[in-house]
Amino acid sequence: MTELDVFRLMALRADLFAAIRVSLEADGHCKHYEGAFMIRLPNYFEQDEPEPWQVTLDCYVIGPSRHYEWSGKTLAEAITKAESDVRAWIAEDRAEAGGAGSMARISLPFDRQCDLAGLPKPVPEWRFHALRRWRFDWAFIGPEKLAIEVEGGAWNAGRHTRGAGFAKDIEKYAEAMCLGWRILRVTPKQIADGTALTWVDRILRAA
């Protein structure tokens, strides 16, 4: 089990139980709810072949059943399967409710997420060009030379998606790549739910 696994479980659990709370409040149910979201470690001592890692969920509010199990050779694999199903159920539940309610997320800054996951700590607002005032939202300034750009306004015609802003971003990213930077573009939601952290971990491990 890694620090990244722990963070992904925390983020998924926070989203899941926030959705349960919103659903119960919308339906006027009792505010007290009993459920369980757990991991089961493999038994390495009594089996010829190690058992798989498992993420288990008991829940009667979100999803089509009540008890769920996701298995994998690694905990990360089991979490990925759980994330896929649980986030799909949450999206369906929100769609049926007309998008009512807000999702409570772990509001950890991205550098704190990286710290908890055992990754290098990125620098915020890093100015990477000697002549221009361009800055990266987050930058791993060591040998990784990896920049993280958080692109807001994707769904409401924000600056980054309009003609002039889009053209300026292309120039900025092209100049950065000429200087040897790699650029990962993400949304605020992907920062909040841990998706960006997972991508960064994979990129740094592949380097």
DSSP of the chain, one letter per residue? --HHHHHHHHHHHHHHHHHHHHHHHHHT--S----EEEEE----SS-SSPPPEEEEEE-SSSSSSSEEEEEESSHHHHHHHHHHHHHHHHHHHHHHTTT-S--------HHHHHHHTTPPPPEEEEE--SSS--EEEEEETTTT-EEEEE---TTTT-GGGSHHHHHHHHHHHHHHHHTT-EEEEE-HHHHHTSHHHHHHHHHHHH-
Measured at the CA of 181, the angle between CA 156 and CA 145, to 5 degrees, comes to 110
User: Is the pLDDT assigned to residue 66 strictly greater than 70?
Assistant: no
**What percent of the chain stands above pLDDT 70?**
72
Q: Which range is least confidently modeled, 79-88, 136-145, 147-156?
A: 147-156
Q: What is the pLDDT of residue 155?
A: 45
pLDDT, mean over the chain:
78
Looking only at the bridges linking them, the beta strands covering 135-140 and 146-150 are antiparallel
Its CATH class, for the domain covering 110-206, is alpha beta
Residue 106: pLDDT above 80?
no
pLDDT confidence band for 105 (50 / 70 / 90): very low
What does the alpha-carbon distance between residue 31 and residue 138 come to, in Å, rounded to a whole number?
A: 40
Quick one: what percent of the chain has pLDDT higher than 90? 26
* Residue 189 near residue 105 (C-beta atoms within 8 A): no
Q: How large is the average pLDDT for residues 135-146?
A: 95
Q: What mean pLDDT comes out for the span 63-78?
A: 81
Q: What are phi and psi of 204, to 5 degrees?
A: -70, -35
pLDDT of residue 118: 85
> Taking 70 as the threshold, does the pLDDT of residue 18 lie above it?
yes
Would you say residue 62 has pLDDT above 80? no
